[in-house]
Every structure is written in structure tokens, then in C-alpha cells.
Amino acid sequence: MDEQAAKLKGEEIECQRKTEESRANRKIAAKYLRQSNKRLHQQVAEKEQQNREFIERRIQAVESLKSNIAANQESLRVQQKRAKKKVLKKEQDERHLKASLEAQGFNGFKHVYLKRQLEETNRKQQEFEESQKSKRLEIVAKILQEEQLVKGRSKAPPPNLSAHDKFSSLRQGREVLLSYLEPKVPSAPTSPTSNTHLMSSSTSSDGENFKMEMEEMDEIAHKRTDYSTPSDFLAEPEFSGLWEQECKVFQLIKHITEATVQHSSKTQQNNTTERIKDLKYVISFNVTQTKELKRPPFSSKPEVVLFKDFEVGKRYKKRIVLTNISYTINFCKFIRISAALKDFISVNFQPPGSLSTGMSCEILVIFHPLINEDLEGEIYFESTFGPFSVPVRCTIKKCSPEVDCQSIDFGSHVVGESVSRTITLTNNGALASFFSVGTSMHLSAARSRSQIFGSQVAKTSSPFMYYIRQSSYSLSLEEVHAKRQSFSTESGKNTAELNQSKTYKSLTPLWQRRALTLAHAMHQFPAELLPHKVLKQRSYITLNILKLGMVRGGEIGPFQSVKLEMLFKPTVPGETIMDFYIRFSDANTKPIPIHVSGVAVSNPVWVVHPSIDLKICTFDRLYQYTIVVQSRENRAFKLTFDVCPEMRKHLQIIPIRGFIQALSTFNAQLKFIPRQSLPKDAQKYFDSDTGVLEVPMTVQVAGQVLPAKYTIHAIVTSSDLQFDQIQVDFGHCSIYHFVRTTVRLTNMSILPQDFGFVAVPEYIEVQPYDGFGTLLPQETLELDLIFRPKKPIEYNFQLRCKSGIDRDFVLPCRGVGFHPPLVLSHSLIQFRPTPVGDKSTATIYLTNYQDKEAATRLFKVISAVEAPRLFCFSLPKDSDISISPSVGRLLPGERCLVQVMFRPVLREKTVTEEALRLHRIAKATSEKEPEVSRVTEHERKHSAADQIMTEKKML
């Protein structure tokens, strides 16, 4: 009973202890749960706070952006207004200056034009100086950067290589061995049941893992690795002795064994001893192999077991013959197959026993592929002198294309020739594929899909643009830059370009330079420049065309070949380099690059200036130019200058035929006289609307493929000055009066022309500037012709206007001068100062004058007969002047006295205007008085305050 009671009490105590432990665990769990929840809530709050701050920052950024945009818009408006004001002010100043100069008799337009040209020249000079400064700074910065790079490279220490890196396989074996033999310390106390469970699971899996590791170590030992040692460390031994490796290995095994025995149980010691035996076996394999690697004990025939172009699901067999070549009796034992091949290859091998030297045995290798991938591995055997292996390779069906030539050099050819080269594309594999030839390494999805279907491959073709090296006449970039260096003292700009090109070549990779060269290829330079002229002028880059032949793509079957044709047809001189790529639809086949190069040599005879610009020409005037033809051959050539039939009336070349000697020049004279029939004759080359003439010309050279070409450019315009009237009729004019007529003179040319009216009769006056001036292009000027007849006769005359190029333009004029029948003795009356209410009187005479001869001459024009004349004086309205008699009749030759009286009167309107004027003056004075009084009072207060302050200071 006591034992049962004690047992029950112990159980109660144990139960109570467990409940208390569970309560304590619950409390601890609740505590950690609260802390976890608190951390979670805190993280959520921090994340929300970060989101709010991020949104606020974005809102502030948007608002600041809006305010900046508004401020920028406002500043732009202000700047635009200011610029408009400046422009308007400048135009107004120019107008005032022009008007003042014209008033003084100078040419205002010419002065303004010269002033603008001077400003433009100064602006360009400033821009040129600024660009020179910036380029100098860039050059200095690049030079400093290069110096820093050179110093950094010289200060960098050489890499130190340790001798332990030479035997990484041994270190890997050591790490694997330590990972299995060192005891693991548990991280936390666990129950006995859990410990036993862990031990059982570890012991059950140790065997398999150790076998896999042993296999890996064996493969590592069979791999041969080449190590390269730099020349700076040749003082150290390149390879350590095999005895050292063996000694170190066995010392390591001994040390590990002792450490394991001290800290393990009996079962662990048994497992460890077995593993150490296996490890010794593997290491003995490695050591024996390293000693006997000069020649394996057995030779294999074939040396490599190759299953080529296999298909999944089929079964393949191959026999291997192993022959003993060790000069002693030996045995052969099959060990295993590599892990990568053990699921697909099986070996049928019956051990033959001891084999004498020269005897052989057979092995049957069966390969059953299940996946469509390349496989590699080895079959391991054991012999008396150590292990050896036979490599096995399994390859799928592949497309294996190759070309017979990957570099095509067309050599040097003259511009205009067409050369072709043929290459052969061969598929050495068992897999067919579609191919296409282009300049890109990669194929787009759409294009590759079209190639797979094989419908559009042969039709896709286009000329491929290439890049050109900097050279003309086979000059390389280095030669051009070396020659440029000799001209470095010519100008700062050339020096900056030279330094930039050197830095560019030293720091920029080749592919970037090629891309940049292609970007500059939009510029063109004359093809017939000499090498020394190329150095002085800007380096231009031109484009040639490399083309493919008829075959540009298609399908190539297994073990078939296709011929591809490359065409080189240069159009401008220079070295052409381009990389073509043969792309394939098979994703595992890499594109095959084909390097194509060729040099285009310019024509041996060319025109030095291929573009002849005759500027602006006028009709019916002679213009000359010297055509210079250059030859760089050591023999003479016959030249023939061709002139198109449309331009034979207007162009002439003297001489039309000739011979150019070796390494010399030939000069021909070009004469250009544009006739008025040019728009009709040369409609193909002449634009009547703009007046632009562009005529391509050629020089035929005997024995040259392409003729030497040049182009004549000119703008042909008229030099006419045109009046808007064919004839000017002044009509009848008294000899005491004048008649004014306006005529419009228009400049029909696009050039400004000077004009002047010469040999003008004394009775004609031309205004303004007395009939002299300058007409701008297409400008029309109004001229006033004033006719003042001196005699009562009929006038028929011509006004002659002469232009600056000595052309005459005639304007016919006619008019009639006559004597008036009634004549006043005075044409101007001046009264003395007369007060209001008084009067002043003047006397003049009116005479009826008639000449019988004049009447006879003018009888056909006017009715002039002897008869009395009536007269009447008309006075202005509200005038203070009176004439007596104001109406009357005069007989021929009769004279009449006329009195003119001036009596000033003060009118009511004048009084009203004077009163209004005085009222305005008084009103303005009364408005100013309060302001004056306010100012005086303020001054008085200030003076009083100043006086008080001075008195205080004195006290």
C-alpha cells in the first residue's frame, strides 16, 4: 500500500510539474506572440508612414515642377518681349540712320549692309575663339586623364600566386573527408529519442553519400588541369614532388583517424575505419596513376567510344578491344561508368584473367538514349599498375556548317569595275537547316520563322552599307595622323582635331571606332583629291556598295554544299571593310562571320574641281573659267571634253581635245555666254522659275573605265530695267508752269543694279537724286519726271537710262509748250504790316498778249485767233483781300490796271478761340497752386524742426 501511495504521489507530483511547465511555456509563448504582433504592427505603421512620406514628396515635387514651369514660361515671355523690343529698336535706329544718310546724299542701304556684315563677322570671330578655348580645355583634360591612368597602372602591385593553388583536387578531397569525419556539435539539447532518431537517419544515409563522394573524388583525380605560372615567380618550384603529396595525404589520414577515435563511439569508429580504407584505396589509385600516367597499361581501340548522330529510342552497340601494352603480365577489371552515363549505357564484360603482353580482350558497350542531349563520360577499369579509363562521347544530330574561306580580299580595283568572289558553304552535320546571309549576327523572330518555311529567304536582298576607313589612296589612319602632325602649327583648330583623334584611337575600342566611322559616313568628299590635299582638308568618309550574288539564303541539307557569290563594285575611292554573317535557323548553330575587304582606287585622270560654280550670271554676257585636269599615271592620255547638244549654243570649251602628259595637269578654257534662248534650249538643266542651271559634264579619257565627271553650276538672271510706260505724254504746258508725271522703274534682275539718266535735256528734271541711284533685286522705284518748257513749241525727245553694266534703256517722251494769252505783271504780292481796321493797296497789270506766229504754229492744236479775252479773279472764302476789277474783258494787246486791297478784320471766331486759350492756361495754373502751397508748408515745418534741434544741441 505504501508503495502504491508513494507511486501515486510521485505521479501527482510529476503531473503537477508538467502542468506548471506547460503554463510557463504558454506564458512564454504568449509573451513572444505579443512581441511578434507588436513588431508586425510597428512594421505596418512604418510602411504606411513611408508611403505617406513618399506621396507627400511626390506631391511637393509635382507642385515645385508646376511652379518652375510657370516661372520659366514667365521668364521666357519676358525674354521674348525684351528681344522683340530690341529688334524693333534696332530696326527703328537703322531706319533713322538710313533716312539721315539719304538726306545727306549718301547711300544708306550700303552703309547698313556693311554694318550688318561687320557685326556678323565679329560674332563669328567670338564663336570661333570660344570653340578654340573649349577644345583646348578638352584636350588638356584628356591628357591629364591619360597621365593618371598610366601612373595608376605603374603603381598597381603584381598578383601573388601561391603554390597551394596548383593542387586544388587534393584540397577538395581533404575538405570532403573532413566533412564526413569531424563530429557535429548539436545546437540545442534534445531528448534521447530525438538523438537516436537523428543517429539512425544519419547512419542510413552516410553510406550512399560517402559512395557518391568517393566517385566524385575519383573523377576529380582523373581530371588533368593545366596551371600557368607567370614569369615573375619562376624562382618557386613549378610542381611539388609526388612523394610529398603522398606523405601529406597519409599524415592527414593519420591525424583524422586519431581525432575521430577519441571523439566517437564503437559503431562510428567501425564506419570511419571502412571509409579510411576506401579513401586509402582512392588515394593509392591517384598516386599510382600519377606515377604511371606517362602511358596507360592498356590501349583502347577505338581510343574514344563515339555514338554519333543518335536518335532517341534506338539501341546502339559498339565493341572495344583492350590490348595489354605494359610489357608484363597484367589483368583488367571493370569498375564503373560515369554518373552522367550510367542510366543510358551498359557494359558486357567477362574478365579474361591474366593477359600477357600484346594480348587483348573485347568489351561490348550498349547505348540506349532516352534524352536528346550530348553526353560525355568515361568507363573506368582497374589493372595491376593502376586504374585507367576509356572516354565515351554521345552526340545528337547537329548542323555543322563551315566555309572554305572566311576572309575575302578583293585587292585594289579602279572605281567603276565590278569584281566577284565565290565561297562554298558546306554542312558536315546530319541535320538540315535554313540559312541567310546578312550584316547582322542575330535574326528576328519573324524572319527566322519565314526562313523555316523557306518561302521568302531567296527573295530578301538589299545592298549592304559598309564603313570605310579614313584612307583615300590606300592611306591608313596612322599614316594620315602622322602626316597631320607635321601640319600642327597651322592653326589651333587643326591641333585640337589631331589631339582628339589620337586620344580617340588610344581609348576607344575598335568596334566603337567602326560605328563612329559609319555615323560620319553621311559626309562626302571629292574623290579626286591628292593625298597632301586630304591632309589639309577635312577627312570625309564616303560609301561604297558591297552586294551578294543571286543566292542569299535557302536550305542546306545534310552533307550538302552551297556556293555563295560576293560582288564588289566601288563607286568612290577608299578601303572597304565589312563583316557578313551567315545565320542559321538552328538555335545551336553560331553565325559564321565572313570578313570582306577591298580597296577602291580613284581614276588615274580626274578633274581637280569637280564642282564649277559660276555664281550669278546675266544673259548675253561672257563668263570664263579654267578647267584643270590632273593625272597621276606615268603615261599620257587622250582627253575629249563632251558638251551636251542642248548647251552647245551657250557653252564652249577650248580646246575640245588634247593630250595630258604623265604626272602633269591639263588646262582647258570654259566660255559661258547664256543666250536668251537658254530656257528653251536647256529645259532639262535649267529651271525657269528659280534661274538655277546645273549641267553635268564629262571628260572622256582613253583607256579609263569611267569618264572624269564634273558639274557646272550657275544662276542665270536678266539684267533688264523696265519702265511701266511705253511712252510718256506730258500734254500741253505753259512756258511759265511745269507738269509732273510719275514713272515706275523695276529691276528685273536678282542682283542690285546702279542706274542713272544721262544727257537729260534742260527742260526735263528727273527726281529723286537727279535720276541716279541703286535698285535692289526685284525692286520698283517711283521716279518723278518734271517738264518745264522754255519755248512755245512741240517737244519730242527720249530719256536714256544707263545701267551699271553699260546697258541703255530708252523712254520716249512728248509734250507741247505754249505762251498763255493773259499775262500778269507780278506773280507775287507782298503787303506791308497792316493793323486791324486799316488797309493796304497794291497795283498790278493784266495784259492780253497774242502772237500771230505762235497762233499760226499752234493752229492745229489749239484755237488761237485774234479775239477779246474775258477774265475773272476768284478769291478764297472769308478772305481779307479784295480785287478791283475782279471781272472784265480785254481786247488783243490791251492792258488793264488791277488794284489789290488788304483790309484785316477781327472776327468773332478769332476772339472765341483766344478766350478759350486763356481759360485753359488759368485752369492749369489754379490746379498747380495747392501743390505748391503744400510743398512750401512742408519745407517750413522741416526748417522749424531743424532750428529746434540746433537750439537743443546748443543748450
Contacts 24+ apart (CB under 8 A), 248-254: 248/170, 249/170, 249/283, 249/287, 252/174, 252/177, 253/279, 253/280, 253/283
| H helix runs in 807-907, sequence order | 852-857
Asked if residue 810 lies in contact with residue 799, where contact means CB atoms within 8 angstroms, the answer is yes
Give me the half-sphere count of Cα atoms (radius 13 Å) on the Cβ side of residue 267: 6
pLDDT attached to residue 466: 33
pLDDT attached to residue 953: 65
> In sequence order, what DSSP letters do the residues of 873-892 get, joined into one string?
----TT-SEEEESSEEEE-T
pLDDT attached to residue 1: 64
Query: 3-class secondary structure for 610-648?
Result: CEEEEEEEECCCCEEEEEEEEECCCCCEEEEEECCHHHC
Angstrom distance (rounded) from CA 2 to CA 881: 171
Asked if residue 565 lies in contact with residue 405, where contact means CB atoms within 8 angstroms, the answer is no
Cis (ω within 30 of 0) for the bond into 885?
Answer: yes
Report CA torsion sign: 511, 513, 518, 519.
Answer: positive
Angstrom distance (rounded) from CA 411 to CA 415: 12
Cis (ω within 30 of 0) for the bond into 296?
Answer: no
- The grid coordinates listed for 466 are 559598309
pLDDT attached to residue 172: 52
Opening angle at CA 432, ends 429 and 436, nearest 5 = 110
E-only strand ranges, 417-571: 419-427, 433-438, 464-465, 467-468, 545-548, 553-556, 561-569
- The grid coordinates listed for 341 are 552515363
Cis (ω within 30 of 0) for the bond into 768?
Answer: yes
- The grid coordinates listed for 386 are 593502376
- The grid coordinates listed for 470 are 579614313
Opening angle at CA 47, ends 46 and 53, nearest 5 = 90
Phi, psi of 528 (to 5 degrees): -105, 30
pLDDT attached to residue 43: 93
Nearest to 693 by CA among 636, 771, 612: 612
Asked if residue 824 lies in contact with residue 736, where contact means CB atoms within 8 angstroms, the answer is no
Angstrom distance (rounded) from CA 430 to CA 558: 5
Angstrom distance (rounded) from CA 29 to CA 23: 10
Asked if residue 318 lies in contact with residue 305, where contact means CB atoms within 8 angstroms, the answer is yes
Residues 6+ apart with CB under 8 A from 515: 467
pLDDT attached to residue 777: 93
Which run of H or E residues covers position 745? Answer: strand 739-747
Angstrom distance (rounded) from CA 794 to CA 730: 11
Asked if residue 597 lies in contact with residue 409, where contact means CB atoms within 8 angstroms, the answer is yes
323 strand-pairing partners: 299, 360
709 strand-pairing partners: 698
Angstrom distance (rounded) from CA 433 to CA 557: 7
Angstrom distance (rounded) from CA 316 to CA 906: 144
Nearest to 537 by CA among 470, 603, 593, 476: 470
Nearest to 819 by CA among 862, 879, 765: 862
Report CA torsion sign: 53, 55, 56, 58.
Answer: positive
CA of 247: how far to CAs of 175, 255, 279, 911, in Å?
A: 17, 12, 14, 144
Asked if residue 835 lies in contact with residue 819, where contact means CB atoms within 8 angstroms, the answer is no
Angstrom distance (rounded) from CA 322 to CA 390: 10
- The grid coordinates listed for 432 are 538540315
Angstrom distance (rounded) from CA 481 to CA 502: 8
Residues of the chain falling short of pLDDT 50: 159-170, 173, 176-250, 252-253, 256-257, 259-272, 274-293, 442-544, 855-865
pLDDT attached to residue 815: 93
Angstrom distance (rounded) from CA 856 to CA 865: 9
